Amino acid sequence: MSECNHNCENCDVKDCGERSLAFTPHQGTRIKNTIGIVSAKGGVGKSLITSLLAIKKVREGKKVAILDADVTGPSIPKSFNLKGPLYAENNAIKPLESKLGIKIVSASLLLDNNSQPILWRGPLIAGMVKQFYTDVNYGDLDYLFIDMPPGTGDVSLTVFQSLNLTGIIIVTTPQDLVTEIVTKAIEMANKMNIKIIGIIENMAYLECPDCKKKIDVFGISHLNEITNKYNLKVLGRIPINAKITNLIDTGSIENIESINIDY
């Protein structure tokens, strides 16, 4: 038997143990591209990058959805000023839609109070991610962006093994520690034969409002070292910007003027 590449759609083996792990989207859903937004460390801005990618694509006329897979730390709905509850329609979960028409599902849309913690163990969290993929009727999508939780645990394994991923985009910041941790995400993707579309560096620098000089707040970037070592594409470097923070805090991220991401 040839080595498994975790892509059951193009596989001729009928009784493989891996095949039982594959999830099928809801019968009303058709997805052209499923993209995971990944980092092995929290606090690097995966949710922001997920939001920006979704906004960029919907402005290009694409049909887009976000699956917020960070179940214990969901933040996507706040950025788009969305509040639950989600509800069922024709035996399927119906996603909420942002002002621009981005379809969104998130654990926070199931809570009566967004400040309530979700105290679940790994298998329950992975099960909810599965349900957000298999039981939600997204309709026709050009892109489903999955905002992944930090780390390489249950949810990452579930998504990598069981969803038909087009690829992943890795988010990093300039710190040395983050660089080391991002390498783990790269190695995990390579071991599981998941395509890495590219890397986005968030909080890359601070631009002086007067002289426009770029200040390396978190030290000198090591992005080129990673991309050269693994032959990866840099999709963008997002600066620290108080305007972006304000847009997120006010739930108006869709009002952002420009998105400098090459994807």
pTM: 0.88
**136 secondary structure, DSSP code:** B
- Report in angstroms the alpha-carbon separations of 62 from 56, 67, 113, 146: 9, 16, 32, 16
Percent of the chain with pLDDT over 90: 51
Residue 17, pLDDT score: 46
Identity of the residue numbered 235: L
Asked if residue 38 lies in contact with residue 169, where contact means CB atoms within 8 angstroms, the answer is: yes
* Average pLDDT over the chain, rounded to an integer: 86
Question: Residue 257 pLDDT > 60, yes or no?
Answer: yes
Joined together, the tokens standing for residue 225 give 């070292």
145 CB-contact burial (10 Å; exposed 0-12 / middle 13-18 / buried 19+) = buried
Between 12-16, 45-49, 117-121, the lowest mean confidence (pLDDT) is in 12-16
Q: Which residue has the higher pLDDT, 177 or 226?
A: 226
| Nearest CA among 113, 30, 118, 8 for reference residue 69 | 118
Long-range contacts from 228-232, C-beta under 8 angstroms, 24+ separation: 230/186, 230/196, 232/170, 232/186, 232/196, 232/198, 232/199
Residue 8, pLDDT score: 47
Question: Residue 168 pLDDT > 50, yes or no?
Answer: yes
CA dist 20 and 86 (Å) reads 28
Between 66-70, 95-99, 121-125, 184-188, the lowest mean confidence (pLDDT) is in 121-125
pLDDT level of residue 82 (50, 70, 90 thresholds): very high
